[in-house]
């Protein structure tokens, strides 16, 4: 075999003197980076830093480090550039990766700070006073007309459009059954039910075992139409049409054949071991009018349930979102360029699209200017890392936020970015039965419930300090935000004042 010029990304250190040779690390390493020959022997080339061995070593004798080997320094030819070139010179292939954009672009959320009440207006103590996080997603009527009933009471003249009622402004992002395991889906479904929110199914359909959770799911119709049938569309509380994904705007889905086992093959109706390819566009949608056609095909199919349209944040996003709302979408799901993925070419993940914060602000502004902001709700997604990000997104104009990677981290994900390999040691982004059973859906659901509870408490805490008692009072309230270290044009797009003003 020709020698590879690459060097391992990580180095596994085992403190052999204290190792009890139980081989638990070897059994746990799904990447086959550890073997046993009288003692544990690492193959550093195969280590992805998933930390499964580190966490499960009973003696805590395993350390995984970045390979300390120094490259001759260059701020231009970074280590990453050099390693990538070697890899491509050896394979001639597109670099595939998982999860969200990991390049050090400026994170605008981290340059925004929140207001609080001092002297001239009172803050509220959320521990003792009611605090409302309830959020309704969907079209709101332009005006209300009433008619008088014979017994002299007033009632609405027309039935208002159906809305989703969420107890918290946080939903689970679409991550398809295929990209992640059934147990991960189960955990999200259970947590959504407990917390009064919803999970998106993603484009791989819904496993029959989760049909009872229908009213806590938003089903998805994507370009591959995997798992999409009348019953599935009717099961959910709403349907999402996936046009784009923040991690890979403009390109289709690609579930590698390694992850297409028996169950996935059945749900998606494709032969086992084949790549599940979703075309880049929906081939029945080449225009806003065509999008309207599919939105109403789905509304006809579901008895006029809300339809959401998921788009990636790209240039001219405000005009695109306006078109989507005019096409009849009840919810616009904005997926920022840091959004995660189960598999995407790295060049697209890292270099295509615009930051969520800018897109959100400009979409909210445009819809208000056009007088159609009430026609659709906005879900902001694409790397919501904390309750702080969620609050800032809502202040910038979102009705709710979606968490994908954040939810996976809660149930064990270490962000090793190898979801596309289908070997996830934590049983999340894999379909191998010996790995998926590592994830106990009930324990995972509990962790998700804890996370959502913690974030909800934090949101209430901040609302109280802002003197607000309902999350909807904060929506689009940019006056409660200030920017630090942002240039004037960025502040202008965000419609946020500089700190100190």
Partner 1 sequence: MDEKKLVIDAHDIYYKELNEMVRDAILNKDYNIVELDNVNGQRYIGDAIEKEATIIINGVPGNDLGAFMSGPTIIVNDNVQDAVGNTMSLGKIVVHGQASDVIGYGMRGGKIFIKGDVGYRVGIHMKAYKERMSYIVAGGNAGDFFGEYMAGGILVLLGLEEEDERPIVGDYLGTGMHGGIIYVRGEVNKKKLGKEVGIVDMTDADMKELEKLLKEYAADLDLDYENIMSKPFLKIIPVSHRPYGRLYAY
Binding site for partner 1 (CB under 8 A): 87-88, 91, 93-96, 221, 223-225, 228-231, 233-234, 254, 256-257, 265-266, 268-271, 273-275, 277, 279, 283-284, 293-294, 296-297, 300-302, 345, 418, 420-421
Of residues 171 and 270, the one with the C-beta less far from partner 1: 270
Query: At its nearest, how many Å lie between partner 1 and the CB of residue 90?
Result: 8
Which single residue is written with the structure tokens 């191998």?
432
Nearer to partner 1, 417 or 436 (CB): 417
- In whole angstroms, the minimum distance from the beta carbon of 98 to partner 1 comes to 10
| For partner 1, the closer CB: 340 or 382 | 340
Question: Least distance in Å: CB of 427 to partner 1?
Answer: 20
Structure tokens at 12: 């596994």
Q: Would you tell me the crossing angle of helices 288-302 and 317-326 to the nearest 10 degrees?
A: 40
d(CA 319, CA 307): 19
In the complex, the smallest distance separating the C-beta of residue 311 from partner 1, rounded to whole angstroms, is 20
Instruction: Please identify, using beta-carbon distances, which residue of 279 and 433 lies nearer to partner 1.
Output: 279
CB of 270 or CB of 325, closer to partner 1? 270
Which residue lies nearer to partner 1 by CB, 223 or 490? 223
Q: Which lies closer to partner 1 via its Cβ, residue 174 or residue 336?
A: 174
For the bound state, the minimum distance from the C-beta of residue 348 to partner 1, rounded and expressed in Å, comes to 12
Q: Give bridge partners of residue 100 from the DSSP assignment.
A: none
DSSP states of 130-142: --B--EEES---S
Strand pairing partners for 180? 177
Cβ nearer to partner 1, comparing 224 with 355 = 224
Q: How far is the CB of 458 from partner 1 (least distance, A)?
A: 38
Shortest distance, position 270 Cβ to partner 1, whole Å:
5
Q: Cβ 416 to partner 1, closest distance in Å? A: 13
Pairing mode of beta strands 170-172, 400-403: parallel
With beta carbons less than 8 A apart as the criterion, state whether 182 and 263 touch.
yes
Q: Which helix (H) or strand (E) holds 183?
A: helix 182-195
CA–CA dist 178, 344 (Å, integer): 14
The nearer residue to partner 1, 191 or 307, going by C-beta atoms, is 307
Q: How far is the CB of 426 from partner 1 (least distance, A)?
A: 18
Question: Comparing C-alpha atoms, which of 445, 351, 301, 273 is closest to residue 84?
Answer: 351
394: which residues sit within 8 A by CB, 6+ positions away? 169, 380, 400, 401, 471, 474, 475
Kindly state the helix (H) or strand (E) to which residue 323 belongs, with its residue range. helix 317-326
> Shortest distance, CB of residue 233 to partner 1, whole angstroms?
6
Distances (CA, A) of 212 to 34, 84, 217, 477: 41, 46, 10, 38
Do 280 and 262 form a contact (C-beta atoms < 8 A)?
no
CB of 231 to partner 1, least distance (A): 7
Handedness of CA 460, 461, 466, 467 (dihedral sign): positive
CB 496 within 8 A of CB 482: yes
Q: Which is nearer to partner 1, 338 or 420 (CB)?
A: 420
Of 227 and 397, which has the nearer Cβ to partner 1?
A: 227
SS3 readout for 229-288: CHHHHHHCCEEEEECCCCCCCCCCCEECHHHCCHHHHHHHCCCCCCCEECCCCCCCCCCH
């Amino acid at each position: 075999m020709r020698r590879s010029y690459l060097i391992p990304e990580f180095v596994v250190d085992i403190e052999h003197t204290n190792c009890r040779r139980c081989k638990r690390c070897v059994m746990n390493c799904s990447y086959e980076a550890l073997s046993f020959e009288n003692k544990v022997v690492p193959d550093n080339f195969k280590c992805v830093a998933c930390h499964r061995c580190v966490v499960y070593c009973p003696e805590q004798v395993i350390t995984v480090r970045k390979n300390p080997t120094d490259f001759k320094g260059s701020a231009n030819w970074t280590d990453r550039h050099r390693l990538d070139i070697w890899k491509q010179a050896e394979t001639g292939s597109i670099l595939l990766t998982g999860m969200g954009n990991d390049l050090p672009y400026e994170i605008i959320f981290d340059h925004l700070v929140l207001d609080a009440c001092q002297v001239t207006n009172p803050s509220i103590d959320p521990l003792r006073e009611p605090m409302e996080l309830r959020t309704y997603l969907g079209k709101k009527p332009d005006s209300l007309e009433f008619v008088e009933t014979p017994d002299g009471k007033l009632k609405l003249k027309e039935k208002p459009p159906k809305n989703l009622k969420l107890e918290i402004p946080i939903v689970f992002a679409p991550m398809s059954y295929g990209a992640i395991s059934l147990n991960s889906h189960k955990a999200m479904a259970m947590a959504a039910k407990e917390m009064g929110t919803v999970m998106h199914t993603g484009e791989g359909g819904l496993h029959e075992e989760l049909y009872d959770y229908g009213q806590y799911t938003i089903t998805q119709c994507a370009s591959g139409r995997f798992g999409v049938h009348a019953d599935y569309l009717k099961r959910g509380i709403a349907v999402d049409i996936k046009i784009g994904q923040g991690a890979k705007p403009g390109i289709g889905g690609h579930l590698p054949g390694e992850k297409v086992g028996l169950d996935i093959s059945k749900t998606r109706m494709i032969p086992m071991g084949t790549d599940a390819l979703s075309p880049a566009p929906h081939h029945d949608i080449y225009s806003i009018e065509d999008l309207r056609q599919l939105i109403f095909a789905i509304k006809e199919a579901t008895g006029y349930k809300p339809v959401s349209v998921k788009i990636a944040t790209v240039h001219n996003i405000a005009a695109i979102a306006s078109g989507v709302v005019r096409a009849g979408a009840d919810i616009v799901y904005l997926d920022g360029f840091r959004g995660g993925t189960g598999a995407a070419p790295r060049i697209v993940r890292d270099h295509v699209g615009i930051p969520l914060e800018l897109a959100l602000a400009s979409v909210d502004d445009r819809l208000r200017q056009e007088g159609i902001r009430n026609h659709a709700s906005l879900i902001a997604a694409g790397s919501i890392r904390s309750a702080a990000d969620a609050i800032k997104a809502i202040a910038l104009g979102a009705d709710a936020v979606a968490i994908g990677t954040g939810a996976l981290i809660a149930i064990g994900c270490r962000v090793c970015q190898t979801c596309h390999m289908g070997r996830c040691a934590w049983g999340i982004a894999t379909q191998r039965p010996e790995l998926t059973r590592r994830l106990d859906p009930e324990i995972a659901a509990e962790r998700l419930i804890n996370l959502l509870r913690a974030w909800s408490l934090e949101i209430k805490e901040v609302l109280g300090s802002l003197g607000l008692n309902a999350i909807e009072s904060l929506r689009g309230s940019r006056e409660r935000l200030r920017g630090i270290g942002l240039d004037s044009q960025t502040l202008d797009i965000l419609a946020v004042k500089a700190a100190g003003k």
